[in-house]
Amino acid sequence: MDDLAARFDRDGFVVFDHDPRVARWAAAALPFAIEASRDPQLRETWMRQGGTWFVGVDVLLNGADGAIGGMPLEGPWDRLVAPPPEWHPAQVSVTYPGYPRQDATESDAAHRFRLRRDAAHVDGLHLETGRRILREAHMFILGTPLNESDASPLVVWQGSHRPMAAALTADLAPGVIGTDVTEAYTQTRAEVFEDCARVEVPMRPGQAVLLNRFLLHGVAPWRAEMRAPPEGRMMAYFRPEFANPRLWPDL
């Protein structure tokens, strides 16, 4: 196992150094991302946190091969994970100054959690009437910045993928999808906050980050000293899903 693979196995995430292939892809994706984030209909669908976060799930117009604007999706992550049969349209996550303001429908407790714990979560677990239900069996999470910004960086809890995987896969329903993991998720997340280091992950265009699907992660609030271009801090994220969800439990 090389150093990169060892770090990914140990920490549950790895940040790749600048790669010209990734930089070219980000530059090609940026105008499409800006256009999507300014589209009135998409803003109506995806704007959250009092207008300080454009969630932008699946809004980037990349192809099934990941390419956009004539630029292929290529990068050093292929040393650690196999590419999916098909890349879905990437999420374009945009934060703006003041993130996170409190939504009118957001409880005080939920807003405090977003402020104090970066809205920490494991992807694919949907909140439904107060319960956490597995709805998406992701293979991995791949993110890359689209513009220069130090604002609202990704936050991860180093090594949290191991306790989260153990807890979430202990009592799965036969089909995996639809399993209620509320108690295991809530208890283990609280333990992770105590036992795992919180790490902010600032990045520049040309870099990328790969997350284990079980890694607890979130987004840091926008602090006063942070800066971004007028279009906001823009990240693209891919979360390909297993064709067979029963592969999801295997760490």
> Which residues neighbour 110 within 8 Å (Cβ) at sequence distance 6 or greater?
none
Is the predicted pLDDT of residue 1 greater than 70, yes or no? no
Query: Mapped to the 3 state alphabet, what secondary structure does 173-209 carry?
Result: CCCCCCCECHHHHHHHHHHHHHHCCEEEECCCECEEE
- Structure confidence at residue 87 (pLDDT): 98
- At 2, the pLDDT band (50, 70, 90 cuts) reads confident
> What's the whole-number average pLDDT of the chain?
97
pLDDT tens column, 183-242: 999 999 999 999 999 999 999 999 999 999 999 999 999 999 999 999 999 999 999 999
Return the structure tokens found at 224.
């006063």
Average pLDDT of the segment spanning 122-136 = 97
Res. 145 pLDDT band, cuts 50 70 90:
very high
- The per-residue pLDDT for range 198-209, each reduced to its tens digit, is 999 999 999 999
pLDDT of 55 above 80: yes
**Tens-digit pLDDT profile for residues 79-114:** 999 999 999 999 999 999 999 999 999 999 999 999
Looking at residue 38, its pLDDT comes to 98
CATH number of 3-242: 2.60.120
pLDDT at 46 over 60: yes
